[in-house]
Structures are given as structure tokens and as C-alpha cells.
Amino acid sequence: MMHLAETLTFSGRKVVAAWASLPFPARPGCSLPDALCAHPQAVPWKLLSPCRERKVSGCFAQSVVLRGVGKERKPPASPLHACESTEEALQRYLRTLFPGAFSTSHVLEQPCHTQPPYPQFFSPLLTRQGFLLDKPPRYPSAAVDSIPVLAALQAAPVVRTLLRGLYKDVQKLNARRWASFFSAGVEQDDFQEALEELQTLAQAYETGFEADESEDEADSD
């Protein structure tokens, strides 16, 4: 865990965003390259952290884990199909979508089990193993027992929106009105220093575009 934290939080970054695809959209019998090739422009996951999503994805570093997609071998139909292992295919896919980012990836054969008390909120298009069908089965299937999952932690520019929003909200507070806050031992100078550190932390997630945006926001303020 310490190694993972060090991998994702270099250059002054201390916060990461969580993403997940639950279930990962894969069809019965498909290989991992088949599933990845179906999404050449963007990874089919959703942001779980309370950040505003960006139209252009990108990150500085990430750790990605995929579970429950088989290793079926098929004739090479793309560079991903030519990879020797599922780990290599996933890593190549990540390098294509996130050029320049430091990416670590792990592929596990075991899916994520979803037996009770796991809530059954899945689409009727899923098989019991969590794979995606083209159309609902004629007869309702039993509960979904397991699903393939793709999840990631990212040190990414998307975190900046969360940190800047927090900084602006705290900055608006008149801390002197909260006597109990400082009576607990917090000094006004310490509070101001923590606020400045939060602003500095947000700046660590800027790219050139965000830096220009920050200047525009400062001018508008």
C-alpha cells in the first residue's frame, strides 16, 4: 500500500480520484483485447470521486485493476490481440489512451462476486457471470453471481476542481465567527497556513490549460 501511495502521489500531489466500471462491459466468450478494442476513444468507466469530469481525459499517474475477463486466444486482429498476455494488452491500451502517464496495471482472473447481500441492481442484459448480452433473454435469468470489474485510482487534473472548490468555500468562511473552532487549540495563523497549503495542493494538479484558467478566475475575482 505504501508503494502504491508513493507511485501516485509524486510532485506534491496527495489526492487521487477513483474510477470504476461495474460491471466492465464484456460479452460472453470475448477476449480482453476484444473488450478493449470496443472502446478506442475512452475507458468505459465512471468517476466515483466528487469531481467535475473533464471532456478530455488525462492523468499524471494511475493504478488500474481488471478482474474477471478471460484469456481466450484469437487470431491477431489488432495490436492488442498480438500481446502475449492480458496484462500486456491492458498496459498497451492504457499507454495509448494516457500517453506520458505512469501506469501500473494488474489483471486477476477471479471476478467480483455479487451473491446476497450484494444488491441486485443490474441490467437484465447481464448473464449470471456479469457478461453483456445483445438483447434480454427470453426467460428471466437468475441473480447475477459475479461481474467483471475495471477500477482505477488516478492522480489526475480532474482532482483540481475538487480542491479549488474546497479552497474557495473555506476561504469565504469568517473563521473568527466560530469561537469553538479556535478554542479547541487551532490558531488563526495555522488555519491560514492550511488554507494556503490547500491552494498549493490544487496547483499541483494543473496542466497548461488549467493554469490559464486559474489566471482567468483570478482576474474575475
Radius of gyration of the chain measured on its C-alpha atoms: 22
pLDDT digits (tens, 9 = 90+) for 29-85: 888 999 999 999 999 999 999 888 776 678 999 999 999 987 666 666 788 888 888
| Whether residue 97 is found in the same domain as residue 144 | yes
Q: Alpha helices of 20-85 — where are they, by DSSP H?
A: 32-37
| Whether residue 149 is found in the same domain as residue 213 | no
| Whether residue 59 is found in the same domain as residue 102 | yes
| Whether residue 137 is found in the same domain as residue 66 | yes
pLDDT digits (tens, 9 = 90+) for 126-176: 999 999 998 888 777 678 999 999 999 999 999 999 999 999 998 888 777
**Residue where a domain terminates, one of 102, 128, 156:** 156
| Whether residue 17 is found in the same domain as residue 33 | yes
| Whether residue 108 is found in the same domain as residue 184 | no
Mean pLDDT, to the nearest integer, of 88-95? 94
| Whether residue 93 is found in the same domain as residue 132 | yes
Q: Helices then strands (H, E): number in the chain?
A: 7, 7
Q: How many domains does the chain have?
A: 2
Cβ burial of 100 (10 Å; 0-12, 13-18, 19+) is: exposed
| Whether residue 142 is found in the same domain as residue 177 | no
| Whether residue 55 is found in the same domain as residue 116 | yes
CA-wise closest residue to 197 among 172, 169, 151, 163: 163
Domain residues for the domain of 45 are 2-156
**Residue where a domain terminates, one of 107, 134, 156:** 156
pLDDT, residue 211, reads 47
